[in-house]
Structure 1
């Protein structure tokens, strides 16, 4: 019995020790997080005050671990949230400092979100591309500078890349086309220059590509049309030139196309306005010329069709009256001429949709035909 009692005590101690090891994060993960914390200053919410104790898997704000081995999987810190800590403070978050390369020691990381803190600056650590399991990288809404890591294509499992609303500069790395699982790409509102990779179409899983409000130049790669799942393409407010690839009009699920405020020339592809899946099309503030394609049918459905501030000429196609729905239509500031068709959708549009053309007449303009 004595042997059995000692044996049971040993078994229990081993079990307790094993439980302690399994249920608390490794010291290396904890040290990496504390080094990350030390490079940041969050003065209002006190979220880092929860980062105490030896177990970073337990009640550390924004930290989640794998239940099987207690390795840190997720770092999710959002400066705008409905979390109670924000409600109690009565404000959104503000954080300064930089992103410490110590994050790269968290080699089991699948999600890294440090978003909407407004004051975090410095560069994205280049070593971030060494995280083999990273699926989500969301750094939107900070003051990050420098370039995207050149070898970002090494993140083979990445599905979301969002660095919008920062001060990222330089060109889009050519390796980005190797992100075979990427679904959501948002580089908008930065200072990115250079051209779009010619083989951007290799991102075959992508459903949203938002690159607006940058300084991107060159032409629109026709390879984009090969991205079968792409539903939302926004290249507006850049310096893109050349013509609009006709292939964009054959994309099966594309519903939103924003190309406004660029330097595009040539004619509007017939395929673009005859694509019955497109819902929002904004081609305004370019140098597009030629005639408006007369390709509208009872299946045409546009919530927004903005072709203003171009060099379009000729008459407004009468077939536009047969459209199932046209919500917002803007043909102003072109060289259009002739009478404005009667009936829907023209009967609910204001004069501002047709002003500053060469010789348009009829309702709702005050010019009689």
Structure 2
């Protein structure tokens, strides 16, 4: 009887040890991922020893119920003590091993801000059924975004900013029905924006600035009810600004500067009391500034400089609740600058290089 109790106790202990340690296949996948990278300064991979990758392996966490690897979170910019002790940010070379695709319970993959990780995004990552966060910002990754990225049905964050990614935005990206944060900024992406981008109905931030995107702005973007931040600046986008953008209920930041946009400035963008930051500078926008400002108007930034706007400065701007930074320089505006707020706290640089503006703060008398 005593022997049976001891035997059962040993079996329970062994079973618990098996459950609490990661499967050999997950461990092998992590070690293959590690072998493709070199991190010379912090020694974070020195913790990747032993048979249990769920315990004290830096940046790795597992599901407590079955010990499958759930998260890999490795950030080169961190307040972690290991960075504080080293007195420096992270630096890592190498590439992302396709062995990651064996971790079929992975929900989070963050390999961010290591500055020198190169190579391509393994296309097999699109087969990970549970992946919710893919964050590879701040490296030297090349190649294209995998064509089948739309297969990641649970993806909420896609961040590959500050890399050297080329090629088009995959058409399948519009199938990411749960995507909330999209950041493709500061790459070398070409081609046009998908016409049905508006299918991404859950998205709250879309940052695609500093690329080589061409074509026009899809009007379907206005269907993204939750979109609060849209940045398409510093591309080669042409055509007119869809008036529907000014009717979006949550949009607060709109950056379209440094493109090749033409046509008239939609009145809806100036009359939308929810918009807080609007930068349309350095385009070829034409037409007049309409008198559509109200006591509800609140712009932290309104930059319309370096366009082809004509006519007078709207007097209703003086009725705005708040105008922080206003730049109307380098247009074809004419007439007297209104007096009072916000004009009494603006500098001359906000109005220079227009055809015939006059009054304070310019030195030209009306």
TM range (shorter): over 0.9
Secondary structure at the counterpart of residue 6 of structure 1: helix
Partner of 1:232: 229
Distance in 1 between the 2:189 and 2:270 partners?
A: 30
Partner of 2:11: 14
Partner of 2:361: 364
Distance in 2 between the 1:293 and 1:215 partners?
A: 32
Tell me which of 200, 217, 227 is aligned to 2:197. Answer: 200
Distance in 1 between the 2:4 and 2:71 partners?
A: 40
Partner of 1:86: 83
Distance in 2 between the 1:294 and 1:101 partners?
A: 57
Secondary structure at the counterpart of residue 228 of structure 1: coil
Structural mapping, 1:110-125, within 5 Å: 110-125=107-122
Structural mapping, 1:1-369, within 5 Å: 4-369=1-366
Secondary structure at the counterpart of residue 263 of structure 2: strand
- The 4+ residue runs of structure 1 with deviation greater than 6 A are none
Unaligned stretches of 5+ in structure 1?
A: none
| Cα pair 1:268 1:293 within 8 Å, conserved | no
Secondary structure at the counterpart of residue 46 of structure 2: helix
RMSD: 0.4
Distance in 1 between the 2:13 and 2:315 partners?
A: 81
Q: Which has the higher strand share?
A: 1
1:281 CA displacement: 0.1
Secondary structure at the counterpart of residue 112 of structure 1: strand
Distance in 2 between the 1:222 and 1:340 partners?
A: 34
1:244 CA displacement: 0.2
Secondary structure at the counterpart of residue 28 of structure 1: helix
1:116 CA displacement: 0.1
With normalisation by structure 2, the TM-score equals 1.00
Secondary structure at the counterpart of residue 309 of structure 2: strand
Distance in 2 between the 1:294 and 1:160 partners?
A: 40
Distance in 2 between the 1:49 and 1:154 partners?
A: 34
1:294 CA displacement: 1.2
1:16 CA displacement: 1.3
1:133 CA displacement: 0.1
Equivalenced residues, count? 366
Unaligned stretches of 5+ in structure 2?
A: none
1:330-368: per-residue Cα shift (whole Å, max 9, x none)?
000000000000000000000000000000000000000
Distance in 1 between the 2:82 and 2:269 partners?
A: 48
With normalisation by structure 1, the TM-score equals 0.99
Distance in 2 between the 1:301 and 1:59 partners?
A: 50
1:10 CA displacement: 1.9
Distance in 1 between the 2:237 and 2:199 partners?
A: 20
1:113 CA displacement: 0.1
1:34 CA displacement: 0.2
1:160 CA displacement: 0.2
| Cα pair 1:97 1:119 within 8 Å, conserved | yes
1:131 CA displacement: 0.3
1:176-205: per-residue Cα shift (whole Å, max 9, x none)?
000000000000000000000000000000
Secondary structure at the counterpart of residue 120 of structure 1: strand
1:5 CA displacement: 1.4
Distance in 2 between the 1:40 and 1:130 partners?
A: 22
Secondary structure at the counterpart of residue 82 of structure 2: helix
1:251-277: per-residue Cα shift (whole Å, max 9, x none)?
000000000000000001011110000
